[in-house]
Amino acid sequence: MAELLYLTELLGLPVFDSRRRQIGKIRDAALVPVIDAARVDRYLMGGDKAWLLFRYDQVRQISLDGIFLADEQLLPYHADEYMLRLERDLLDQQIIDSQGHKVVRVTDVTFDLRESEGRNELHVVDIDIGMRSIFRRVCQGWVPRRWVRHLQNPIPPHSIDWALTDILEPDPQRRVRLNITYRHLEEMHPADLADIVEELSPEDREAIFETIDSEVAAEALTEVDPDVQASILESLDTDKAAEILEEMSPADAADALGELEAAHSAAIVEEMSAEPQTEVRELLHFDDDTAGGLMNTEYLELPDNALVEDALAALRDSHESYDHIQAAFLVDTAQRLKGVVPLSRLLNTEPSTPMISLAEVEHITTRPETPDSHVAELFDKYNLLMLPVVYDNGSLAGVITADDVISVLRNH
Amino acid sequence: MFSRLRHHIAIFFAVIGPGFITAVVDNDAGGIFTYSQAVARWGYLPLWTLLPITILLIVTQEMCSRMGAVTGKGLSDLIREEYGLRPTFLMMAALVAANLTNVMANFAGIAGSLEIFGVSRYISIPLAAAGVWMLVVKGTYERIEKVFLFACAVYICYIASGILVKPDWGEALIYSVRPVLLIDPAYITLLIGMVGTSVAPWMQFYLQAAVVEKGITAKEYKESRVEVVVGCIVMSVIAFFIIVACAGAIWTQQPRDITSPVDAALGLRPFGQYASLLFCIGLFNASVFAACIQPLSTAYTVCEGLGFESGVNRKFKEAPIFYWLFTFLIVVGAGVILLPSFPLVKMILVSQVINGILLPFVLIFMILIVNKKRVMKEWINSGWYNTVAWASVILMVGLTLALVAFSVQGLMS
């Protein structure tokens, strides 16, 4: 079994030179993530006056009795932007457990003590949280190190694999120097990412949304609480906020913008590219709790003289995802809604059939200003999966789908 | 129609939230006891302390809510990040002990106030404990906040009972602004008690956590500050009416010592059943309210500081330590009230000692952190405000330590 050492044990450990004279005590240890994500690269030592530093390859042996150096040439400690200092930057700070989808606070760090080319190296293996590490921290310094190890044995350990964590760092330059990418977060389900984001402080949220891919950011932002949405959008630069909002559906983007102050939301909309910008602008006119505020503007729209093959071609060529859309909407040249064709009807029909002949005899519609509670009633009464929203002149404004109604019901 | 009503309640909540609740809960069973004790003996004389109390409360609460809004983190989080685990751990241990005794005092308030209505404590205490537990464990944050708001409104009872007693308003107003110092150790002890118990450690942790939970950010901080100040003023208005009611009723009849807040309620009897009953309802409400908030806030603070899962929006299984700690505080806090010979007055003195030892640390950590540029950026204390803040902290620490000394003396005798 590999030998372990804890950060709390390392701190304060005496350092001996090659003639076994004590020359100082360990104050901190640092990783250099651009070189190695887990190996302790630098040891910081409190000497007589200033802090001094030695590298991992100067170490001969590490044990609970102390660190024994092979090469005692010490360097003065200065600039450290590229170093992740474990005591200062990690201990007692929050990090993200990307496996458990949680934000946790670091109580201790577990190292694996390895033998390599005749010297001892420390590699970070686990981040410790929970009772056992708390016990160890509280006792350390008052009780001899070996006793603490015995006493902590009955408490079950609670640790997270170092490789599955993400560090929070608000300073963007330092994020680059420390090689922090948040790639674990990008692989998470957006709803899990949203839960994590909600637990963080505003500046950490900002750090994550600045760094991760806009598409992932958009999906996560859709899932976040409206209040938090607003505070995130406010904290980001307007162009970054616009970039993320462009990736969201116009309806969700408009909802998020609706939470902001008018001036700020206008500034963000200004930065958005042309097509989503007009759609979002239109949607911003509607109140949150009306059909207009609920509806989506991404739907499959076809001329009323289209054939089934046109519909199939449109579906094939489309860049949009129609995950939530179950029907095609037929409109005349004045955009007036003429018919609704459930997509399932296309499957067993000749390609040359006119779409209008497949349309439902009668379709229920509603107006943008209808209150959301009434929309929910319509869904219930007519067993709808989706409901087209039309303006007074009969032209199609958008579509409400069943999942939009579920959020209405949950909020009431 | 219903949705419109909801909308109005939502706006109402956006204005009165964390600061209001924290300040109002400050008038819990222990607070009411301290006031009524002071005035039953000295009448309107100690009223002037309300003004300095309000200022001290505003200064400390303002710093906490600012820290919450700017950092988005709780006070125990910040202490942990800045000063490490060991001080945090020791503070959390003291906080649990202090709040356990606070909870006991409040369950005693519940038992006492309901006994006036003829309800035996063997019925009221288990029911109240179960009710408080269910509200938090089975509720969501939004629902709990609504119940708390309702509880805030019930404090109007004190205002009503104060008016029913028909006190001497002229005298009450004069003594609100005229400081009276008597060279009498008993008088000075009571004054120190009134001021010393007005700022409690749990309030700082609760307020900051509630600001964070509500998602108030540095941008909305201006509104939040107004809310904190208004909350503190409302707290002193309620305290004013409690004092006036007790002074008008008990002291004008016959100045004497009282031994519990229920004594105070009984003292109002000569002025009609309603004055006394309203005072009792107020006491019951304040006790239940505080018996909810104090265990909840303790469990939150401890779990945050030590890095355990917390929050009422999580399930029992997801945050076991949070719920166990909460349950422990309620079961023990309520349980001891049912023990026939439990020395409650001694417990309240012990509570004052622990609170008093803890408070200087909390306040000093607070003012150190609020002045850290790395943490607070441009939101650190401004020059003159910092002077006021330090003066308040030093005054508060001094008074609290004096109170600790008196309490230790009381415990010895």
Cα A253 to Cα A218: distance, rounded to the nearest angstrom? 9
Residues of A in contact with B218 (CB under 8 A): 202
Task: Tell me the mean pLDDT in the region B30-54.
Answer: 86
Chain B residues interacting with chain A (CB cutoff of 8 angstroms):
3, 71-73, 77, 80-81, 84-86, 89, 215, 217-219, 306-309
**For residue A229, what is the nearest residue in chain B, using CA coordinates?**
B215
User: Is there a contact between B144 and B135 (Cβ–Cβ < 8 Å)?
Assistant: yes
pLDDT tens-digit profile of B298-339?
Answer: 998 999 899 888 877 778 888 889 999 999 999 999 999 998
- pLDDT attached to residue B26: 86
CA distance B334 to chain A (A): 27
Question: How wide is the angle at C-alpha A210 spanned by C-alphas A205 and A215, nearest 5°?
Answer: 100
CB atoms under 10 Å from CB of B139, counted, come to 15
**For residue A232, what is the nearest residue in chain B, using CA coordinates?**
B217
Contact A134 B218 (CB under 8 A): no
Cα A396 to Cα B260: distance, rounded to the nearest angstrom? 71
- pLDDT attached to residue A269: 86
Contact A227 B215 (CB under 8 A): yes
Band (pLDDT 50/70/90 cuts) for residue B7 is: very low
Nearest to A299 by CA among A331, A256, A273: A331
pLDDT tens-digit profile of B66-108?
Answer: 999 999 899 999 999 999 999 999 999 999 998 998 899 899 8
Query: From the list B3, B86, B219, which residue is nearest A137 (CB)?
Result: B86
Over 70: is that where the pLDDT of A367 sits? yes
**For residue B84, what is the nearest residue in chain A, using CA coordinates?**
A92
Chain A residues interacting with chain B (CB cutoff of 8 angstroms):
91-93, 102, 104-107, 129-130, 134, 137-138, 200-204, 225, 227-228, 231, 234, 289, 373, 412
Band (pLDDT 50/70/90 cuts) for residue B12 is: very low
Q: Which residue has the tokens 């616009």?
A: A242
Over 50: is that where the pLDDT of A41 sits? yes
- pLDDT attached to residue B299: 92
pLDDT tens-digit profile of A74-128?
Answer: 888 887 788 999 998 999 999 999 888 888 999 999 999 998 888 899 999 999 9
CATH number, domain containing residue B98: 1.20.1740.10
Nearest to A200 by CA among A86, A84, A94, A97: A94
Show the domains of chain A with their CATH numbers: 3-162 (2.30.30.240), 181-285 (1.25.60.10), 300-411 (3.10.580.10)
Residues of B in contact with A203 (CB under 8 A): 72
Contact B307 A137 (CB under 8 A): no
Termini Cα distance of chain A: 57
- pLDDT attached to residue B64: 93
Contact A91 B215 (CB under 8 A): no
Task: Tell me the mean pLDDT in the region A346-372.
Answer: 86
- pLDDT attached to residue B372: 93
Which candidate in B85, B92, B212, B377 is best for mutational testing of the A interface (most A CBs within 10 A)?
B85
User: Is there a contact between B61 and B231 (Cβ–Cβ < 8 Å)?
Assistant: yes
pLDDT tens-digit profile of A52-78?
Answer: 899 999 999 999 889 999 988 888 888
pLDDT tens-digit profile of A260-284?
Answer: 877 888 888 888 887 778 788 878 7
Query: From the list A93, A134, A137, which residue is nearest B81 (CB)?
Result: A93
- pLDDT attached to residue B16: 60
Contact B71 A201 (CB under 8 A): yes
- pLDDT attached to residue B332: 94
Over 60: is that where the pLDDT of B4 sits? no
Residue B3 lies in a domain: no
Task: Locate A276 and state its tokens.
Answer: 């989503």
Task: Locate A341 and state its tokens.
Answer: 């064709």
Task: Tell me the mean pLDDT in the region B141-162.
Answer: 82
Task: Locate A386 and state its tokens.
Answer: 């989706």
CA distance B218 to chain A (A): 9
**For residue B320, what is the nearest residue in chain A, using CA coordinates?**
A130
Share of chain A above pLDDT 90, in %: 19
- pLDDT attached to residue B6: 55
Ranking A17-31, B344-358, B376-390 by mean pLDDT, the lowest is B344-358
A14 forms bridges with which residues in the sheet? A25
Q: What is the DSSP letter of A157?
A: P
- For chain B, the domain total comes to 1
pLDDT tens-digit profile of B167-194?
Answer: 888 888 888 888 888 888 788 888 888 8
- pLDDT attached to residue A321: 62
- pLDDT attached to residue B400: 84
Contact A92 B84 (CB under 8 A): yes
CA distance A244 to chain B (A): 21
**For residue A158, what is the nearest residue in chain B, using CA coordinates?**
B308
Over 90: is that where the pLDDT of B365 sits? yes
Contact A138 B86 (CB under 8 A): yes
- pLDDT attached to residue B100: 92
Residues of B in contact with A92 (CB under 8 A): 80-81, 84-85
CA distance B81 to chain A (A): 5
Residue B394 lies in a domain: yes
pLDDT, chain B, mean? 85
CA distance B214 to chain A (A): 9
Contact B307 A105 (CB under 8 A): yes
Helix B273-306 and helix B121-138, axial crossing angle in degrees, nearest 10: 40
pLDDT tens-digit profile of A169-226?
Answer: 888 888 888 888 888 888 889 889 998 888 888 888 888 998 888 888 999 998 888 8
Residues of B in contact with A202 (CB under 8 A): 72, 217-218
Nearest to A141 by CA among A29, A4, A10: A10
Domain encompassing residue B157: 17-412
Contact A137 B85 (CB under 8 A): yes
Over 90: is that where the pLDDT of B199 sits? no
Cα A193 to Cα A166: distance, rounded to the nearest angstrom? 12
- pLDDT attached to residue A322: 61
CA distance A274 to chain B (A): 30
Helix B344-370 and helix B75-83, axial crossing angle in degrees, nearest 10: 60
Contact B219 A234 (CB under 8 A): yes
CA distance A202 to chain B (A): 6
Query: DSSP 3-state assignment of A243?
Result: helix
Band (pLDDT 50/70/90 cuts) for residue B15 is: very low
CA distance B88 to chain A (A): 10
CA distance B379 to chain A (A): 14
Please count the helices (runs of H) and the strands (runs of E) in chain A.
17, 20
Band (pLDDT 50/70/90 cuts) for residue B370 is: very high
Residue B395 lies in a domain: yes
Residue B245 lies in a domain: yes
Cα A386 to Cα A225: distance, rounded to the nearest angstrom? 24
Of residues A227 and A392, more confidence is placed in A392
Contact A202 B218 (CB under 8 A): yes
Instruction: Produce one character per residue of A123-155: b if its CB has 16 or more CB atoms within 10 Å, e if not.
Output: bbbbbbbbbbbbbbbbbbeeeebeebeeebeee
Over 90: is that where the pLDDT of B367 sits? yes
* Residue A101 burial class via C-beta count within 10 angstroms: exposed 0-12, middle 13-18, buried 19 and up: middle
Which candidate in A128, A134, A198, A260 is best for mutational testing of the B interface (most B CBs within 10 A)?
A134
pLDDT, chain A, mean? 86
Tell me how many residue pairs between chain A and chain B have CB atoms under 8 A apart.
Answer: 48
Residues of B in contact with A104 (CB under 8 A): 307
CA distance A388 to chain B (A): 24
- pLDDT attached to residue B14: 57
**For residue A141, what is the nearest residue in chain B, using CA coordinates?**
B86
Which candidate in A6, A101, A105 is best for mutational testing of the B interface (most B CBs within 10 A)?
A105
Query: From the list A107, A203, A228, which residue is nearest B307 (CB)?
Result: A107
pLDDT tens-digit profile of A321-333?
Answer: 666 667 888 988 8
- pLDDT attached to residue B91: 94
Residue B325 lies in a domain: yes
